[in-house]
Chains A and B, each alone.
Chain A
Amino acid sequence: MSTLLDILLRLTLWILLAPLLPGIINQVKAWVAGRRGPPVLQLYYDLSRLWRKSVVMSTLASPGFVAGPAVAWVALVGAAILLPIGPFGGGLSFKGDVILLVYLLAVARFCTTWAAMETGSAFEGMGAAREVSYAVLTEAALITAILALSVESGSVALDRMLALSAGTGAVLLAAGLFAVLLAENCRVPFDDPNTHLELTMIHEVMVLDHSGPPLAVILHGAALKLLLFAVLLSEAVLPMGRMSPLAATAALVGAVGAVTIGVGLVESLLARFAFRRVPLLLTIAFLLCLFALLLAWKGGPA
């Protein structure tokens, strides 16, 4: 019973906090540009408004067009539940949960791209093609990072893998995972979440035809994914297990905040890269994680 309560509590926390991150990023961007910017809670308003709207669906689309975003959202929530929250450990921790997490992200990707292809639009097909192709490289980087953590901690369960820091390779790992975060969440320099037409390339283009509650679910899922990656990155780098619970919580919140502000700063200071350079950048992220893995291997038993 207490496990169930624990999971429900985590669920609430993840769902409620997730839409905060895009708000913070937008604030940072507005601050750098010298504008006032939208309120931090803008996404919450947007979501509640979208939830009340009616839906327009393409004549070509099957019910999968609506089911896809729903399943993708469930997969993302599931992945978030698996991820331990600092000193509070994982909601459902078992050996190999980290692989389930990676594959739940893949489920979300499958459903999002599937729903995008429902419309028969070339534009959305383009986005789907990019999403699945670049995911090949980000998944390679992510799994290498996980290998590094696994070598460092001698375990395949998230709560033990993330308790220690990544050791000597922490800096490399942080850089690599940050690039993965930017790519997976379609932020600058890989994609531009601000635009909605030609300049939007991956994520936004896949959801062009969605509206109403399905769009709300997609936007919320995207925010959830961003939070998930921010938490994963923070915990991989910080030695959570060696701190007191209070310090660890503070460090986690601080680190997630720092990552979010970092995303905002990158978005303000960098332009989106040309598309042929995206694979190069992702390969660099992969190499960073690979060097972190080799360092962890050389570093001797943790």
Chain B
Amino acid sequence: MLLVALVACVAAIVPGPRWPRIWLACMVVGTGSILAAAVAVFAGAPDWEWWSAVRVGGERLHLRLDGLSAWFMALLGLVGGLGAIYARGYWPDDAHADSAARGRLWWGVMILSMGFVLLSSNGLHFLIAWELFALSGFFLITLDRQRREIRAAGWLYLAASHAGTLCLFAFFAALAGRTGSWELGPMRAHPELGPLFWLAFAGFAVKAGLFPLHIWLPSAHANAPSHVSALMSGVAIKMGVYGLIRFSGWLPTPAAVGWTITGIGAATALLGIALALAQNDLKRLLAYCSVENVGIIAVGLGGGLLGAADGDAGWGRLLLAGALLHVWNHGLFKALLFFAAGSVLHATGTREMSRLGGLWRSMPWTAVLFTIGAMAVSGLPPLNGFVSEWMIYLGLFDVVAGRSPAAWAAMPAVLMLALAGALALAAFVKAGAVVFLGAPRTRVAAEAHECGGSMRGAMVVLAAGCLAIGLAPAVFWPAAGRAVAAWNPPWAAGAPPAPLPTLGLANAVLVTLALAAGAGLWASARARGLRRSLTWDCGYASPAARMQYTGGAMAAIAVGWFGWIFGAERRQRRPRGPFPAGAHRIERMPEAVLERLIGPVAGAVMQVAGAARQLQHGRLQYYLVYLAGGLTALGTLVLVGEMK
């Protein structure tokens, strides 16, 4: 199956740039077989291991498909394939003559390299695949390289990504040095390897976008073409999560790791969503929301680690399974939301929410699908986001109710998750309402058009996935159980430690009743006579589009509570005098970590480097002086050394 995937993906890469149809067919076959391979593992096929006969870079290729890899492979296959279908409508050749071909090429490379990252069981090849994956991400982000901010976002991504890769280089090299081989696998019996996990943690946390290493994520995800944003947000950052889960399972982790990951995860969730709420750019909002969701996943993973350390199978298993399920769920609904945002961008040419509004009339499909995504991402029942958040909550509550020492991590985490959940709801009511409801705020919004069939189809599949996991969570338990067992073999098998079938039933009843009530009320309103009239609004004679509440105003209250953390900037000129001429108010939420911390440090480094450049001026006399000075210094050093 994987061979088919490999062949199809390679087949897509080679002729892809020239023939879009062949590319699409090959991509669909390739990603479909990736998905099928993963499903085969869930259906009970044994783990698959394979060593190549030829050596690459002095090492034999070692691929391994176990429950955990298959879990991420399934997501890769689904989002990768749907993204390819979506791209056909979103980034066609006639609109993007030069970049569409490049996009197809790098899309294939990215899918293939991510697949190798997931399968690779050799440190060297893992790094090679990782690097290829990072690079293809860079080329995909900067597809439209005419625009300055896109190039800047690409560079920032590349720099951050390489900072992470540096940590991984150190990690794998040190690991190979200690064990004497690049081969990877369970190494729990070597407690001396434990501290190395911190290196891996730093490297993978950059990719996953954990606070405060998320700096690259918002601009990269916002500026990339939307199908790329969906792949980056839905799958690529999950590679970081995969690394964290994989190596926390294989390595003997220090005791502090569980506490650290839980703590950072909870902080990431809260700060990520608070920043998301503050955004006025639709895709940037979604990007920050990805930061939040990675935080939620990290809370689950950290809890799983605490559970493994505690020796308690119940809640640890629940938390890890919740984290894994959230990986899928976030992949589904975030890809859906980015696709919907892309379709808005495609129709109106802007991501600025304050220029949109009233799109439900011209884009009913996108509006409904975005609403489903928004409800899922806010963790509302009956959709999938609720199921995984419910599992994580339940695990944390079990910790607290059992009064284990880990409760001191669990209680704050529950609180942060609750705050993050409520803020997510606020952020997505704001996003959905400002973009799709009310009156169009500009001409472009009024003249929007619905997206094409391929884009719509991709979104419908994702929305159906969101609903399916919400309605039948128990169906997905065996797969999650397999992945959990791959992480920690003693936790293998067993019924879910949570009443998933009951929750599924409750969700199904809720959907049925909600549909019935909605239709019933609509029918009863129609039966009693339904008149259309201007918005009443306490008696306005002619409400105008510009009188509507803006996204910034909607978020202002809650964002104000976080202003002191992020240092919100505000410039305003109040109207003065009886005939005020001009007044404005501009609020901006800076990228606190980037602008206040990394920016100055990088600036200082550049200044030092600039000063050092003064030494290079091409005058021979001075070079001779340098030479003499250097020789003297060396001589002195040698002399001093001999005297000792």
Contacts and interface: CB of A to CB of B under 8 A. Distances in A.
Interface of A: 51-60, 62-64, 66-67, 69-71, 73-75, 77-78, 92, 94-96, 99-100, 102-104, 106-107, 109-110, 113-114, 117-126, 128-130, 132-136, 139-140, 142-144, 147, 150-151, 153-156, 197, 208-209, 212-214, 217, 279, 293, 297, 301
A95 B498 contact: yes
B398 interface: yes
Given A66-B518, A73-B517, A125-B549, A110 B378 contact: yes
B422 A106 contact: yes
Interface stretch (B96-104, B214-222, B357-365): B357-365
Given A58-B533, A117-B434, 20 more contacts: A56-B530, A58-B534, A58-B536, A59-B535, A74-B510, A96-B390, A96-B393, A100-B503, A103-B379, A103-B381, A107-B375, A117-B438, A119-B537, A120-B439, A122-B549, A129-B549, A143-B418, A154-B401, A212-B528, A213-B524
B549 A70 contact: no
Interface stretch (B13-21, B344-352, B554-562, B604-612): B554-562
B528 A217 contact: no
Contacts of A130: 557
A102 B357 CA distance: 30
A164 B549 CA distance: 46
Contacts of A208: 536-538
B303 interface: no
B422 A139 contact: yes
B506 interface: yes
A168 to B, nearest CB: 16
Nearest to B547: A122
Nearest to B380: A107
Contacts of A154: 401-403
A136 B437 contact: no
A66 B554 CA distance: 22
B521 A69 contact: yes
B181 interface: no
Interface string B124-145: 0000000000000000000000
Q: Give the dominant DSSP class at A's interface.
A: helix
29 contacts: A54-B528, A56-B533, A56-B536, A59-B533, A62-B437, A67-B522, A92-B502, A94-B499, A94-B503, A96-B390, A103-B381, A110-B429, A117-B549, A119-B537, A120-B358, A120-B437, A122-B537, A122-B548, A132-B430, A132-B558, A136-B419, A136-B558, A143-B418, A147-B415, A151-B403, A154-B403, A156-B401, A208-B538, A297-B407
Interface in B508-546: 509-510, 513-514, 517-518, 520-522, 524-525, 528-538, 540, 543, 545
Contact of A55 (B378, B434, B530, B558): B530
Interface in B373-427: 375, 378-381, 386, 390, 393-394, 397-398, 400-403, 407, 411, 414-415, 418-419, 421-423, 425-426
Given A71-B514, A117-B438, A136 B423 contact: yes
B432 A114 contact: yes
B583 interface: no
B87 interface: no
B525 A214 contact: yes
B201 to A, nearest CB: 29
A57 B530 contact: yes
Contact of A140 (B419, B433, B437, B538): B419
Contacts of B390: 96, 99-100, 103
Best-buried of A53, A56, A126, A130 by chain B (most CB within 10 Å)? A56
- Determine chain B's interface SS by DSSP, over half rule: helix
Contact of A150 (B367, B386, B401, B555): B401
A212 B527 CA distance: 11
A109 B547 CA distance: 24
Contact of A74 (B360, B415, B513, B553): B513
B425 A78 contact: no
Contacts of A125: 433, 548-549, 553-554
Contacts of B525: 55, 66, 212-214
Given A69-B521, A100-B381, A55 B528 contact: yes
Contacts of B510: 74-75, 78, 104
A249 B140 CA distance: 65
Contacts of A77: 513
Contacts of B517: 70-71, 73-74
Contact of A143 (B415, B528, B557): B415
A67 B521 contact: yes
A216 to B, nearest CB: 9
B521 A66 contact: yes
B422 A117 contact: no
A279 B563 CA distance: 15
A128 B360 contact: no
Interface string B72-109: 00000000000000000000000000000000000000
A58 B535 contact: yes
Interface residues of B, number: 80
B413 to A, nearest CB: 11
Contact of A104 (B381, B403, B418, B538): B381
Contacts of B520: 70
A133 B398 contact: no
Contacts of A99: 390, 393-394, 397
A21 B597 CA distance: 55
A129 B517 CA distance: 26
A112 B237 CA distance: 34
A133 B379 contact: no
Contacts of A209: 535-537
Contact of A133 (B378, B530, B558): B558
Given A56-B531, A119-B438, A120-B439, A67 B518 contact: yes
A130 B421 CA distance: 16
Nearest to A120: B438
Contacts of A64: 360, 371, 437
A60 B358 CA distance: 8
B528 A133 contact: no
Contacts of A59: 532-535
Nearest to B368: A64
A197 to B, nearest CB: 6
Contact of B528 (A53, A75, A147): A53
Contacts of A102: 418
A135 B561 CA distance: 13
Interface centre among B499, B517, B535 (most CB of A within 10 A): B535
Nearest to B517: A70
A297 B367 CA distance: 46
A58 B403 CA distance: 53
B495 to A, nearest CB: 13
A144 B525 CA distance: 40
Contact of B502 (A94, A109, A113, A120): A94
Q: Closest 4 interchain pairs by CB?
A: A125-B549, A120-B438, A117-B433, A54-B529
A156 to B, nearest CB: 4
Interface string B180-191: 000000000000
B521 A147 contact: no
Nearest to A62: B360
A89 B583 CA distance: 60
A124 B554 contact: no
B532 A57 contact: yes
Contacts of A71: 514, 517-518
A121 B426 CA distance: 18
Contacts of A66: 518, 521-522, 525
Nearest to B394: A96
B513 A153 contact: no
A132 B502 contact: no
A106 B531 contact: no
A73 B524 CA distance: 15
Interface string B565-590: 00000000000000000000000000
A129 B528 contact: no
**Which of B378, B418, B531, B540 is the most central at the interface, judged by chain A CB atoms within 10 Å of its CB?**
B418
Nearest to B559: A133
